[in-house]
Amino acid sequence: VILVIGANGQLGSVLTESLKHKFGNSNVIASDLRPREGYEGVFEIIDATDMNRIHDVVTQYNVTQIYHLAAILSAKGEQTPLTTWDINMKTLFNVLEVARHHKIDKVFFPSSIAVFGEGAPLNNTPNNAYLDPATVYGISKAAGENWAQYYFMRYGLDVRSIRYPGVIGYQSLPGGGTTDYAVDIYHKAVLKEEFNCFLKEDATLPMIFMDDAIRATLELMDAPKEDITIRTSYNIAGISFSPAEVASEIRKLYPDFKISYEPDFRQEIASRWPKSIDDSAARKDWSWKPKFDLESITGTMIEKLKENYKTGSRNLE
Ligand code: VAH
């Protein structure tokens, strides 16, 4: 039985559906701070800062795997640094401790390209680059990676992790991230509204389509234990692009699409992140390979969002 913590989030909500599809609805327990209206399946309210609550749900359902998708992201996290640190670390410690005591088979811990700072190469950033994150979110993810590795080395807990680029999907809305522009831009295009971008037009960042990010996660978690050579976190790459590049790709379908640029504090964050990622370790250890490029991301996003808006099936938070 798999427990997803943070099942209402941008990644958590889509990952939960993929896990249900793979393992069956009754084998996936979705959880978050608040219920999700219309959710089909087993849903529990969990505030992951409460270890006892996680322990009770793990016991009640005989949970064997935990996916920990709850965290405060880079942009929102900068508003309350110490609270962000407390929540991101406390929830992780609770998951690791409950998993250790209950001898949970596998734990997934999401990291991010936000762990890289100015000390890492900007292009083709390697897995073992020097980590000097400039956001509290990035600091908490770099610390989290090292705690994951510690629980593996000290207690044999099979914790696995991926450093996600900016995730772009039509199934859910992002919340509080620096890469969120890359989702919002498609919604504005489909709604035929002008898009005001909070990053500079040439702010190239590593991005990944949601379906690739989810597949990478399931492929990592399915890999034989002995094939996992990195116990901090794996780099994966999808496709890197700038706001200007995605705007011109959108204009191939919406010739009148307009974009304006008003960089804010999130440009500062983005300017310290890599422009592209070296994911050779993931390709070697568990055969990672992305399927979506900017053209196919754009085509799929536009097609699916048009459907969503037409049927009003906006299962978006
Ligand atoms: C954020 N979407 O913007 C997340 C992610 C690489 C970016 O960590 O904070």
Pull the structure tokens for residue 176.
């509080």
Burial classification of residue 245, based on how many CB atoms lie within 10 Å of its CB (0-12 exposed, 13-18 middle, 19 or more buried): middle
**164 contacts 155 by C-beta, under 8 angstroms:** no
Pull the structure tokens for residue 265.
């504090």
- pLDDT at position 247 is 98
- pLDDT at position 314 is 54
Q: What is the number of other CB atoms lying within 10 angstroms of the CB of residue 230?
A: 17
- pLDDT at position 69 is 98
The ligand 1 site (C-beta within 6 Å) comprises 73-74, 112-114, 137, 164-167, 174, 177-179
Ordered strands of the 2-5 beta sheet? 42-45, 28-32, 2-5, 65-68, 106-112, 158-164, 234-235
- pLDDT at position 313 is 63
Spell out, as residue ranges, where the chain has pLDDT lower than 70.
313-317
CA-nearest residue for atom 1, ligand 1, is 177
* Element containing residue 245 per DSSP (H, E): helix 243-251
CA-nearest residue for atom 3, ligand 1, is 177
- pLDDT at position 311 is 83
pTM of the model: 0.96
Taking the CA of residue 311 as centre, how many other CA atoms within 13 Å lie in the half-sphere pointing to its CB?
A: 8
The Å distance, Cα 167 to ligand 1 centre, comes to: 7
The Å distance, Cα 260 to ligand 1 centre, comes to: 22
- Residue (of 190, 170, 192, 166) closest to 180 by Cα position: 166
Instruction: Among 78, 112, 181, name the best residue to mutate to test ligand 1's pocket (greatest count of ligand atoms within 8 A of Cβ).
Output: 112
Interface pTM, i.e. ipTM: 0.96
Q: Give the residue numbers annotated as catalytic, written as ranges.
A: 137
CA-nearest residue for atom 5, ligand 1, is 166
**85 contacts 23 by C-beta, under 8 angstroms:** no
